[in-house]
Chains A and B, each alone.
Chain A
Amino acid sequence: MRGRPVLGAIAGLFFGLFVALALFLWGVRSLDPLTVYGLPLLFAVVGIAGAAWAPLGRR
């Protein structure tokens, strides 16, 4: 792991949750299980994978 997988998982989880809420507020999707659970899990996986890849390099 070149990046920060724990941070990636947590940030991805919350990012997915807030995106789900945004989709609900803007009338795109209801708060169905796929949206509420699926998006956070998806972005948590993206966060872990992105941390493993660490494409942004060092600051």
Chain B
Amino acid sequence: MRRRWGATGAVAVLLVLAVPGTATADVTTGTCTGTVTIAGNQYTPANDSPSNPIVVPDEEGLVAAWTASIADDPSNLEGKIQIVIAGLGITVADWGTGPNAEREANGDYSIDEARAEIEDVVPVGVIPGLYRVRGNHGTICEGFAMVRIEGSPLGNVVGWVVVVGIVVSAGGLVTAFRSKPIPIIEKGGN
């Protein structure tokens, strides 16, 4: 099911499309260019690995300022943003452009609003972690970025389920690693 998460989509758009086209790591095809600034840090296509992601701090009142532009004509195309889990893309935003679409854009948006929208849809709220996000606008711009949403892993039920699951399954491994008792065969007779 496709969902249009206004602010979330805007975040994803800037994460994927608003990156310099001169770098090849994020923008796999196309001539997209741009930046995003969150909490005073400006991000570029270099933020495409687990060790160097775009960081969304666990703070209130954050505003992300973004700019984006594209050299090719973005008119009459469809695009989407997906979170990639186990190789499968979950669409979080999609859009279409009409004729004479603008090639440059910029803006500010509230990350609090994006969090609120996610909390409306996901029962456990925003789950911190390292996400791979990919997106495209037609075939003229495609790319991905790594996004780390900060927060306490044990701040929601998912973290605790994981901890309990590790402990229980480790217990299962320990049990499996023990020798089975040798059955005692009693000799019959009086």
Contacts and interface: CB of A to CB of B under 8 A. Distances in A.
Nearest to B85: A31
Interface residues of A, number: 40
Contacts of A12: 169, 173, 176
A38 B90 CA distance: 21
B176 A25 contact: no
A8 B130 contact: no
B169 A30 contact: no
Q: Is the interface of B mostly helix, strand, loop or mixed?
A: mixed
B64 to A, nearest CB: 19
Interface in A1-59: 2-5, 7-8, 10-12, 14-15, 17-19, 21-22, 24-33, 36-37, 43, 46-47, 50-51, 53-59
B173 A47 contact: yes
Given A18-B165, A30-B129, 5 more contacts: A7-B175, A8-B173, A24-B129, A25-B129, A54-B179
Interface of B: 50, 53, 84-87, 127-132, 146, 148, 150, 153, 158-159, 162-163, 165-166, 168-181
26 contacts: A4-B180, A5-B176, A8-B173, A11-B169, A11-B171, A11-B175, A12-B176, A14-B168, A15-B166, A21-B158, A22-B153, A22-B163, A25-B127, A25-B159, A28-B130, A29-B130, A30-B50, A30-B84, A30-B146, A31-B132, A33-B86, A33-B87, A56-B174, A56-B179, A58-B180, A59-B178
